[in-house]
Amino acid sequence: MSRENIHNPPILELGPDFYDPVKPAVFPEAHLRYRNQEAARFIGLDSLSDSAWKDHFWAFKPLPGNLSEPLALRYHGHQFMHYNHELGDGRGFLFAQFPVAGTWYDLGTKGSGQTPYSRDGDGRLTLKGAYREALATELLQSLGVNTSKTFSFFETGENLVRYDEPSPTRAAVLVRFSHGHIRIGTFQRLAHFEQKENIQKLVDVCLKAYYPEIHSDDADERAFLFFQAVVRKCALLTAQWMIAGFVHGVLNTDNINITGESFDYGPYRFLPSYDVRFTAAYFDRQGLYSFGRQPVTMLWNLQRLGETLKLQFNTLPVEEIIEEFSDEFNAHVKRLFLQRLNLKSRGTEADGSLLTAYFNFMESSPALYEQAFFDFFGGKASPRIASSPQKDFYQGEEFANLMNQLQDFEVDDVTKMAHSYFQNSKPCTLLIEEIESIWKPIAEENDWGFFYKKLEEIRSFRGIY
Ligand code: AMP
Ligand code: MG
């Protein structure tokens, strides 16, 4: 990474209307619990000593040649469909930005102290929250979902009071590595204040920083191409969530990144078995962000972005662009589904029939979601269909129909069939019971062994999906 490239990070190009300089909290203790060397290598920080790592990712001493002070980002957003103009980075900030291969990446924090947007919050993150976010990002990465990475977290020695966790509870400060932090809510805030010129500026900086392949001399065309690119990326992400069996839980517009990267993991869940009504957040009483509502929710959020852009680009054909979402989403779902089963496509129609047969079976059965993908990897050739711990569920009319459909599908990548991951009887999962059971020894005896073992397991099959 060459330092001279960093002199104009996108946030400084956007300028002071987009952030507030803030001071990091000073923490009593520093216990490094997680350090992501793979992400660090990507931006040339993997050789930092533990003490330098602590200086930068616990004390937040600026990185040489990078942002000279932390910046709390300004944004608004719809939370559970209600507009909130009091949002913004309330417990985090942008710490550094890095160009890699023509695009920009951020290090941002969670739990690093109060900011002008903290309202009555303490600006802190629970250790359990950091632990849960690290697990989610690791597994989503292994499942092929476009996700932010957890870069680092330190336990800080503070005690926090939370109404939804046994309190007092331990605290942490987390650093997130992400493909930008511009949210739909960043645009919404500009529209709220009718800052039309800033909307233009934000579109152009986003294109330059995150969609460098898009060029046009015409501002309206740039807005068109930008919005279309965001719609497509978000359709892909939504398809990835569905095939991963992931329920984000809080799909507010401030949690949707315009790069189509999934981020901000609070009360997420992975599906036990296929259930479109499955809801992650206990406070989501209506099931607004349930598993099956994620596509329609993403579409709703993209509509909000479209409206916002229209303030400056009044001829933008929002509906026409948004219409692409469902075709894009459906095509990605089919493709990712076949990829998940390691099967060659037989054309749209045959692929669609297989997908329908598969989910009809899953709907009719108590079969576990991830175990089924694992067992059917390789299709009819998979020896696990007959030997699975849930083989007793593999019967009945819908199952017969699925097996019938599978007859004509061939394995895509034969070498993958021999991967050591498929010698196991069960796949790697992250259901709530396991998250709690790995947490227990940490909470009771400060024993992190099971956590590190789980990370190893999660990484053991990276690259298959
Ligand atoms: P989230 O649900 O994590 O996306 O957060 C929504 C908003 O609440 C953001 O503006 C956060 O910065 C803010 N927030 C959440 N927790 C805290 C906290 N403990 N202290 C201050 N602000 C917070
Ligand atoms: Mg958020």
Q: Which residues surround ligand 2, an ion (CB under 5 A)?
A: 255, 264
In a domain, 290, yes or no: no
Q: Pick the catalytic residue from 106, 254, 264, 284.
A: 254
In short, whether 87's Cβ falls inside 6 Å of ligand 1 is yes
Is the pLDDT at 294 greater than 60, yes or no?
A: yes
Give tens-digit pLDDT for 55-65: 999 999 999 99
pLDDT tens digits, one per residue of 121-144: 999 999 999 999 999 999 999 999
Please give the average per-residue pLDDT across 315-341, as a whole number: 98
Is 79 a member of any domain? Answer: yes
Domain count, the chain: 1
Assigned domain for 85 exists:
yes
Does residue 128 form part of some domain?
yes
In this prediction, residues 165-181 reach a mean pLDDT of 96
Determine whether 80 is exposed, middle or buried from the number of CB atoms within 10 Å of its CB (0-12, 13-18, 19+).
Answer: middle
CA of 130 to the centre of ligand 1 (A): 14
Closest ligand, as measured to the CA of 266: 1
Best mutation site among 83, 87, 91, 289 for ligand 1 pocket (most ligand atoms within 8 Å of CB):
91
Give the relative orientation of helices 127-142 and 449-459 as an angle to the nearest 10 degrees.
Answer: 20
Give the residue-averaged pLDDT of 97-122: 97
pLDDT of 6 reads: 56
Ligand 1 pocket member 176 (CB < 6 A): no
Instruction: Give the relative orientation of helices 432-445 and 449-459 as an angle to the nearest 10 degrees.
Output: 140
* 14 CA from centroid of ligand 1 (Å): 23
Residue 1 has pLDDT above 60, yes or no: no
Residue 165 above 90 pLDDT? Answer: no
* pLDDT tens for each residue of 363-379: 999 999 999 999 999 99
- Is residue 66 in some structural domain? yes
- Per-residue pLDDT averaged across 447-460, rounded? 98
Is ligand 1 within 6 A of the CB of residue 90? yes
Ligand 1 centroid from CA 200, angstroms: 28
Q: Residue 3: is its pLDDT beyond 60?
A: no
pLDDT tens across 218-272, in order?
999 999 999 999 999 999 999 999 999 999 999 999 999 999 999 999 999 999 9
- pLDDT at position 182 over 80: yes
| 17 within domain boundaries | yes
Domain holding 109, by residue range, is 10-178
Q: CA 179 to CA 10: how far, in whole Å?
A: 12
Q: Is the Cβ atom of 118 under 6 angstroms away from ligand 1?
A: yes
Q: What tens digit of pLDDT does each residue of 408-419 get?
A: 999 999 999 999
Measured from the CA of 90, which atom of ligand 1 is nearest? 12
Pocket flag, ligand 1, residue 125 (CB < 6 Å): no
Task: Report pLDDT for 360.
Answer: 98
What is the residue-averaged pLDDT of the chain? 97
Q: Report whether residue 375 contacts ligand 1, using a CB cutoff of 6 Å.
A: no
pLDDT of 164 reads 85
The pick from 80, 94, 112, 118 for probing ligand 1's pocket by mutation, whose C-beta has the most ligand atoms within 8 angstroms, reads 118
Task: Give the rounded percent of residues in the chain with a pLDDT score beyond 70.
Answer: 98
Note the ligand closest to the C-alpha atom of 262: 2
Two structure tokens written together for 117? 């947007």
* Segment 31-44, tens digit of pLDDT: 999 999 999 999 99
Quickly state the pLDDT bin for 2 (edges 50, 70, 90): very low
Residues 6 or more apart in contact with residue 267 via CB below 8 angstroms: 249, 250, 280, 281, 282, 283
Single pTM value for the model: 0.97
Lowest mean pLDDT among 3-7, 243-247, 444-448: 3-7
**34 inside domain:** yes
Which residue owns the Cα nearest ligand 1 atom 12?
Answer: 90
Between CA 145 and CA 242 the distance in angstroms is 10
**Cα(447)–Cα(440) distance, rounded to whole angstroms?**
9
* Minimum CA distance residue for ligand 1 atom 14: 90
Query: CA-to-CA distance for 465 and 236, rounded, in angstroms?
Result: 15
Name residues whose C-beta falls within 8 Å of residue 331's C-beta, 6 or more positions apart in sequence: none
- Res. 7 pLDDT band, cuts 50 70 90: low
Residue matched to tokens 């329920």: 247
Asked about 164 being catalytic, the answer comes back as no
Would you state the pLDDT for residue 4? 41
In a domain, 308, yes or no: no
Find the mean pLDDT for residues 180-209.
98
Would the pLDDT of 5 be above 80?
no
| Atom 13 in ligand 1: residue holding the nearest Cα | 90
